[in-house]
Structure 1
Amino acid sequence: MVEGVGDEGWRWPAAPGFWQRVVGQLGTALIVVDPAGRILAVNPAAERLLGRAAAAMVEEDAHDLLHRDAHGGRIPREQCPLLRAGAERAEARGEGDICVRGDGGLIAISWSASPLTDDGAFMGMAVLFTDAAGDRSARRERAAYTHALEDLTERLTLVAEITDVLGQTLETDEALARLGRLLVPRLADWAAVDLRVGSGQVHRVAVTGPGGRDAAQENWRERLPEAGEEARSPLVQVLHGGDPVLQREADVAAPTASALSAVHGGFLRAAGATSAVTVPLGSRRQITGALTLVRTDPAHPFDADDLTVVSDIGRRVGLVIDNARRFGRQRAVAEAMQRNLLAPLPQPGRLRLAARYQPAPAGSQVGGDWYDAFERKDGTLALVIGDVVGHDLTAAAGMAQLHGILRSLAWDHTGPPGAVVDRLDDAMPAITTVPMATLVLALLEGDPDTGPWTLRWTSAGHPPPLLLTRDG
């Protein structure tokens, strides 16, 4: 085989007939026309598409032979874009132009044309063309596939975002408020959350619509019917461990039997639901409640894929609510402990004591911070501010240990406050579970009625006390 070298160093086969074989095997229809528009060559793909033999097309005028309007009528030559491109010796393309096949049928084509030159001389145009209907079908398929991928990506992104955002709070109400803002309007027009409560009731705790939280539809409670008592109610089914439920418009209008399903059905009708999904919060073994999403556009109902996504969201939300509830129970215990340990302040003589206990960020309302004030055996006043590392029940328990030990050590000790703190530091690893703590212990000496008073204090890693005078 003889080879030649192209402009950029590629080596092109140059054997006689090579390019004819390439064109013959090309799957896209191709015709070549001369500068006047007569057909010089036709490949087999063009024969098949146009229903004409090459011999019947070669030397014929391409425009007169093939080009027609939508009704099969001839088109004036001056309106032919291919002839115009040939006259201008320029590339051109078209979409939806009509050609007549050999059997008289009409076919819409998409085409592109490029000028052919030989040593600078214009030789004609090479025209590639395809079935426009097939192109549109392929484009629709590609568009549908792309849309499906985008939709899947959006759903996965939403699930990941919900997991991330809800994981940042241990407050149930705040978690549900965030959930509503994430779901409406991205996935639904309305969202409602129902939680099971210990008394065998269902409590609707959050309803979010186009205008945000709808308090008028929240805060109702109804008894949860026994399993099987009302098989047609999706909410009852889900709360008893049934599968997630997808409701169409006809299902939404179905009659109800219990007070719970009546309230739920009333919500769906009030929201104008044309489709709804109800999924459990949590797992089958531990169902915390139910999540219901509503769409109001009949042209965009929920489908099976939506049900799968919302079910995944329900599992994750249920876990967040369970964690928040456990945290709430733990916090309630710790807060009760703190309230009992933070005893009323004494008010000896003219001295007036006041304390303010202000939590820092949400989630640190419970922990190892404490203050104390008590009169010692000799009548002097002891003041304490302390902090056990941590913001949980363990820290609160450690605080309780140090609170009691410090009172015992300081009550009858006559030495300076530093000696009391030294004894506490020695005792901590032996008789407490506290890993680390800081505190300030101050002793206020002087007659409580007449003064003057002297404040002696020591700090174990804690910021020092401040004296604020009348002038600020």
Structure 2
Amino acid sequence: MAIAAPGGEDPLEEFRRSLPAEIFEEVTAAAFAVDDKGVIVAVNGRSEKLFQMTANELVGHDAHDLLHRDSHGHPLPRSRCGLRMALLTNSTRHCELDWFTRGDDTVIGLSWVITPCELGAGALGALVLLYKPEDPADAHQDDAEVSTRLTELDRLALLAETTTQLTSTLDVDAALRRLAALTVPRLADWAVFDLITEVDEVRRALVVQHEEGVLIERPDLQGPMPPVPQESPMPLSRALRGAASTLASPAMYHGPPDSGIAVEQQRLFSETGMHSAAIAPIRGLREVLGALTLGRSRRAEPFTASDLPLLEDLTRRAGLALDNARLYERQRKVAETMQRHLLPQMPTVPGLEMTARYVPAPHASQVGGDWYDAFSLSDGATALAIGDVVGHDLDAAGGMAQIRNMLRAFVWMHPESPSVAVTHLDQAVMHIAQEPMATMVVARIARGDDGCWTLHWTNAGHPPPLLVSEDGRTRFLKGGHGMLLGTGGQGSRTDAVLTLPPRSTLVLYTDGLIESRRHTLDDGMDRLRRHAASLARRPLDSFSDSLLSQARPEDNDDDVAFLALRTPDQSHAG
């Protein structure tokens, strides 16, 4: 049992004593405890398995916000949450069928019972038990032979739910898992997805089985597949060439295999125990994207020809969803590639260490207009810039290139004052740039006659640079702050000046490093500061990689531009 308590105290100690871990784990249903606000304070191992999340991912989160959904996987209003009503009224309630999301983004139908309990130290909460519904067919958790007994209304409902689930994601893996959850165990005991990659290679992308009320992925059966044979009459080979759906059985693969794919199919039937399968191609708008195999091992009834039209309807919807997801991913990669090619090579500045990073947005998000720049000036100083153009994808990347190039020109014309250069840039972007809204920090760094490095900077609505001393002291450089570009405002801009201590590290970054949907911006900045302090004595490259890995919020879906420099020892300053 996993239990969390706030702060350094442990008010749940009495709960631990009154509900020992051994008893909690021996409950045959998934179980978790919540406090009087609905926050999960304890879970058992069956809950972790059921929701496919670890105790750390469950404990400390609001149970309703994290888990409760409607039948389409959408967030459920709190006013419709029976669990919360029972919690608020301190009563025991039962629900035959409700819907919950899991770690793999699938939705599961469950029955639940909630009853008040004392958590200890006078704190009240509730214990929640979840289990398979009494009517498994409604909750899609049944091993009964229901496939061929689906009414026309059932079929239409399944297709409608498939459309809703698949069109609400642009992630290929999420789409496959959602379709697996819709078909297993409602139609089959196994779901197998074979996809054709963009270089015409076949990959067994997902193999899922139904066991003890949950879907279990089988990575041992997944992985690369042999090439598609052009003449093979075997069911999977024909489906991957785009032929009509068909039935399959182990007997078809008893003879000598005619191809590498047939060998893999022999292994699949042997490992899974499937006695009957239905296989259909997954077609996109222009090409075959793969094939879906539904197999039965535990239920005795084999697939029949009457099951194939429904399977084809499902794969037709899957093909459209995968086509959209691939097109989206292709566009994202184009934008990311363009973004990377537009970012500059870092100059070599004698006596000064300098490095930069660009981290693209996660696969579920769009590439933004984050950028960095560094170049030498005519007076021997070095110009630095970090910025974020409002917008996403190719438009943002193109706008970033426009603004960066204009900024270089203005900084070259006014090397002595970053604020003057940014003022001219602000006036220009209103009339020239396609994406005029942007934030940035522009700076110049130069070594004086005394060997010390002096930083001049101005800030146009951007997160402040972070200065980290060698002993781990930190400060945000909040001087020189002004409005972001492209607002049309007439406010004046100023330069701030600071002499950087020896062996200090200056960090310029974009908001993707500190923003989170779960925490405030101040929390993100404090997180960045603390991690940077702990890494202060790392070599600069190691410092940068570790800071990006540790400080970036897990739920951030934005890209990150990052630039760091380190001043030398005073003994090497001359």
Cα offset, 1:285, TM superposition: 4.6
1:52-451 correspondence runs (5 A): 155-210=155-210, 212-226=216-230, 229-231=231-233, 233-247=234-248, 256-283=257-284, 285-297=286-298, 299-304=300-305, 306-346=307-347, 348-359=349-360, 362-364=363-365, 366-414=367-415, 416-428=417-429, 430-434=431-435, 436-447=437-448, 450-451=451-452
Cα offset, 1:292, TM superposition: 0.9
Paired with 1:218 and 1:149, the residues of 2 have a C-alpha distance of 31
Letter in 2 for 1:171: D
Secondary structure class of the residue paired with 1:353 = strand
Cα pair distance change 1:201/1:385, threshold 3 Å? closer
Secondary structure class of the residue paired with 1:403 = helix
Secondary structure class of the residue paired with 1:389 = strand
2:57 corresponds in structure 1 to none
Cα pair distance change 1:170/1:285, threshold 3 Å? closer
Paired with 2:153 and 2:468, the residues of 1 have a C-alpha distance of 59
Cα pair distance change 1:429/1:305, threshold 3 Å? farther
**Percent of paired sites with the same residue:** 42
- Answer with 245-254 or 208-217: which moved more: 245-254
Letter in 2 for 1:218: Q
Cα offset, 1:349, TM superposition: 4.5
Cα pair distance change 1:147/1:174, threshold 3 Å? closer
Letter in 2 for 1:225: P
Paired with 1:456 and 1:283, the residues of 2 have a C-alpha distance of 52
- Answer with 147-156 or 406-415: which moved more: 147-156
Cα offset, 1:230, TM superposition: 2.6
Paired with 2:387 and 2:167, the residues of 1 have a C-alpha distance of 30
Cα pair distance change 1:354/1:321, threshold 3 Å? same
Cα offset, 1:370, TM superposition: 1.0
State the structure with bigger RCO (CA 8 A, min sep 6), 1 or 2. Answer: 2
Secondary structure class of the residue paired with 2:313 = helix
Letter in 2 for 1:418: S
Secondary structure class of the residue paired with 2:220 = helix
Paired with 2:286 and 2:372, the residues of 1 have a C-alpha distance of 43
Residues 364, 391 of structure 1: 8 Å contact kept: no
Segments of structure 2 that go 5 or more residues without pairing to the other structure are: 1-145, 475-574
TM-score (norm: length of structure 1): 0.59
Letter in 1 for 2:217: R
Residues 336, 360 of structure 2: 8 Å contact kept: no
2:467 is the counterpart of 1:463: no
Letter in 2 for 1:219: G
Which one has the largest radius of gyration? 1
Cα pair distance change 1:413/1:384, threshold 3 Å? same
* Cα shift readout 1:248-270 (whole Å, capped 9, x = no counterpart): 67657677533323322432343
Letter in 1 for 2:441: V
TM-score (norm: length of structure 2): 0.49
2:454 is the counterpart of 1:453: yes
Cα offset, 1:294, TM superposition: 0.6
RMSD: 3.4
* Cα shift readout 1:78-109 (whole Å, capped 9, x = no counterpart): xxxxxxxxxxxxxxxxxxxxxxxxxxxxxxxx
Cα pair distance change 1:414/1:433, threshold 3 Å? same
Residues 384, 442 of structure 2: 8 Å contact kept: yes
Residues 391, 435 of structure 2: 8 Å contact kept: no
Paired with 2:285 and 2:399, the residues of 1 have a C-alpha distance of 37
Cα offset, 1:181, TM superposition: 4.2
* Cα shift readout 1:240-293 (whole Å, capped 9, x = no counterpart): 232211336765767753332332243234322222111111257522111111
Letter in 2 for 1:300: E
Paired with 1:345 and 1:289, the residues of 2 have a C-alpha distance of 43
Cα offset, 1:467, TM superposition: 4.3
Q: How many residues align?
A: 323
* Cα shift readout 1:149-197 (whole Å, capped 9, x = no counterpart): 9765555454444444444443333433444344333432222112224
Paired with 1:161 and 1:277, the residues of 2 have a C-alpha distance of 21
Residues 361, 367 of structure 2: 8 Å contact kept: no
Secondary structure class of the residue paired with 2:344 = coil
Cα pair distance change 1:347/1:277, threshold 3 Å? same
Segments of structure 1 that go 5 or more residues without pairing to the other structure are: 1-145
Paired with 2:238 and 2:453, the residues of 1 have a C-alpha distance of 74
Cα pair distance change 1:401/1:382, threshold 3 Å? same
* Cα shift readout 1:214-249 (whole Å, capped 9, x = no counterpart): 2222223322222xx233x22222222322113367
Paired with 1:382 and 1:299, the residues of 2 have a C-alpha distance of 73
Cα pair distance change 1:378/1:297, threshold 3 Å? same
Residues 348, 448 of structure 1: 8 Å contact kept: no
Letter in 1 for 2:423: D
Secondary structure class of the residue paired with 2:463 = coil
Paired with 1:402 and 1:321, the residues of 2 have a C-alpha distance of 36
Secondary structure class of the residue paired with 1:187 = coil
Paired with 1:413 and 1:309, the residues of 2 have a C-alpha distance of 69
Paired with 2:394 and 2:439, the residues of 1 have a C-alpha distance of 18
Residues 252, 275 of structure 1: 8 Å contact kept: no
Letter in 1 for 2:189: D
Letter in 2 for 1:246: L
Residues 245, 278 of structure 2: 8 Å contact kept: yes
Paired with 1:286 and 1:449, the residues of 2 have a C-alpha distance of 68
Paired with 1:148 and 1:216, the residues of 2 have a C-alpha distance of 30
Paired with 2:450 and 2:315, the residues of 1 have a C-alpha distance of 64
Paired with 1:284 and 1:346, the residues of 2 have a C-alpha distance of 47
